[in-house]
């Protein structure tokens, strides 16, 4: 019997040895009725993707746009998510253009953050097809706008009309305010002629004849002819007779503005009075003939204008929403003017384009007792034309400076403009020295036909 138990113990020990099980007495405590516990199956959660609320885009030359996609885990955006993305381009002149991401040329790239992926969209074909102007671009998914950016398409392929601050011996310099096709706006064109015996008559004849044809402005005659002009004590009395005024009654208000602004550009004329058939006791075309009219003194934004022409010129657009002169409102006026120069929230006018890229910010202003206003622009002012060739950038920079100076000098108490960038004076802006204050040149948009 002892031998039997000895053999049984040996067999049990051999069994544990061969099976690799530990030699532990607890292993013998086996309950055949204990339920079997299965290992739970782990289900992985799908990666969630979110469009971030930021867009990187060149404010002047929008050749590409970068979107950021945040993932809940390390993974590239799925096709199903990418198919929900779309881009909307908004313009004050056109209906919104909605483009799905699948219709655009784009690439996906990693970033320093493993959870963020960049989608770089090539906008060259789109931006090349956009006319000059101010645009807002939205990125969205599931019809919910998540990211927005503003950009400008500036008019770089035109020849800018220059300004001048000099007089020429033996020549009369004068500025003609020429109406646009719809008579809603005036474009000042400066010209020079051999010094005449009758300066006011010479100017009026030039205005009546209309601007140089290549400028794309309304050809003459844009105003009725005045058979008689009489100057006394700074007042120009303009006599218009039948049938010269025929066809101008419905737009005589714009005609008078053109004549008044043009004639008062001569230093010896301060106001203009109109007579129709020797009468001034009745209104003509909503114009009170009893009044003396002075040049427009509204705050102006000088924007780029070009329509049906190879030339680009500055057009003043009145900003008439500001009347209070207290400091806070005045500061607000100056900031809103900067927005106007970017063509933001302005009336949609065919042929009009921004003077300043949309993403350049005005950090602050300071007007001293000498009438010099300091405009402190953001860092990107200094690099906003980097994508252009040297020659084009230099011309565009000069136009930007001219637009800023003319615009801010249209405000009361401002005689000169100092431009700084991020609190610092810089010397060179694409070949233009901006280290010192600028005053408004005497003559704007010099006629290219003059010798």
Angle, alpha carbons 426-429-431 (nearest 5°): 125
Joined tokens for residue 43: 């289900």
Domain range summary for the chain, segments of one domain joined by +: 49-153, 162-288, 300-439
H or E, element range at 429: strand 428-429
How far is residue 389's CA from residue 369's CA, in Å, rounded to a whole number? 39
pLDDT tens digits for range 212-262: 999 999 888 999 999 999 999 999 999 999 888 888 888 999 999 999 999
Alpha helices in 235-384 (DSSP H): 252-263, 327-341
What's the CATH fold of domain 49-153? Immunoglobulin-like (2.60.40)
Q: Are 350 and 307 in contact (CB under 8 A)?
A: yes
H or E, element range at 144: strand 144-153
Per-residue pLDDT of the chain (451 residues; tens, 9 = 90+): 555 556 656 666 655 555 555 545 554 455 555 666 666 665 667 888 888 877 777 655 567 788 888 888 888 888 888 888 888 888 766 778 888 888 888 888 888 888 888 888 887 777 767 777 777 788 888 656 677 777 777 777 789 999 999 989 999 999 999 999 888 899 999 999 999 999 999 999 999 999 999 999 988 899 999 999 999 999 999 999 988 888 888 899 999 999 999 999 999 999 999 999 999 988 898 899 999 999 988 888 898 899 889 999 999 988 763 344 444 456 666 667 777 776 665 566 788 888 888 778 888 899 999 999 999 999 889 988 887 888 888 988 999 999 999 999 998 889 999 999 999 999 999 999 999 999 999 999 999 998 6
pTM: 0.77
DSSP 95: P
């Amino acid at each position: 019997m002892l031998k039997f138990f000895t053999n049984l113990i040996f067999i049990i020990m051999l069994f544990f040895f061969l099976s690799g099980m530990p030699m532990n007495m607890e292993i013998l405590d086996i309950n055949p009725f204990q339920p079997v516990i299965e290992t739970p199956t782990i289900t992985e959660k799908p990666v969630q993707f979110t469009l971030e609320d930021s867009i990187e885009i060149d404010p002047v030359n929008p050749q590409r746009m970068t979107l950021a996609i945040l993932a809940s885990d390390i993974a590239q955006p799925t096709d199903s998510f990418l198919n929900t993305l779309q881009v909307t381009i908004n313009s004050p002149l056109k209906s919104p253009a909605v483009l799905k991401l699948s219709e655009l040329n784009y690439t996906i790239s990693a970033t320093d953050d493993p959870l963020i992926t960049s989608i770089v969209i090539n906008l060259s074909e789109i931006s090349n097809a956009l006319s000059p102007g101010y645009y807002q671009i939205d990125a969205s998914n599931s019809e919910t706008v998540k990211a927005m950016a503003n950009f400008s398409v500036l008019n770089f392929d035109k020849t800018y009309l220059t300004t001048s601050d000099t007089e020429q011996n033996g020549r009369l310099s004068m500025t003609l305010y020429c109406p646009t096709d719809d008579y809603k706006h005036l474009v000042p064109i400066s010209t020079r002629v051999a010094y005449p015996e009758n300066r006011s008559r010479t100017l009026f004849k030039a205005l009546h004849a209309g601007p140089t044809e290549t400028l794309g402005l309304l050809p003459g005659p844009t105003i009725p002819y005045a058979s008689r002009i009489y100057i006394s004590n700074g007042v120009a009395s303009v006599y218009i007779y039948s049938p010269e005024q025929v066809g101008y009654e419905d737009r005589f208000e714009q005609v008078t503005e053109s004549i008044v602004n043009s004639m008062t550009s001569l230093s010896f004329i301060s106001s203009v009075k109109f007579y129709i058939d020797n009468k001034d006791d009745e209104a003509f075309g909503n114009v009170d003939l009893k009044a003396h009219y002075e040049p427009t003194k509204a705050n102006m934004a000088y924007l780029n204008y070009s329509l049906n022409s190879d030339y680009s010129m500055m057009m003043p657009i009145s900003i008439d929403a500001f009347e209070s002169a207290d400091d806070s409102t005045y500061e607000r006026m100056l900031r809103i003017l900067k927005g106007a120069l970017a063509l933001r929230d302005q009336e949609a006018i065919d042929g009009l384009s921004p003077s300043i890229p949309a993403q350049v910010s005005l950090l602050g202003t300071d007007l001293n007792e000498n009438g010099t206003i300091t405009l402190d622009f953001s860092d990107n002012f200094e690099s906003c034309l980097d994508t252009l060739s040297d020659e084009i950038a230099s011309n565009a920079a000069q136009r930007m400076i001219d637009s800023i100076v003319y615009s801010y000098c249209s405000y009361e108490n401002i005689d000169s403009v100092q431009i700084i960038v991020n609190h610092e004076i810089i010397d060179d802006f694409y070949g233009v020295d901006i280290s010192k204050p600028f005053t408004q040149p005497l003559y704007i948009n010099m006629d290219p036909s003059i010798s």
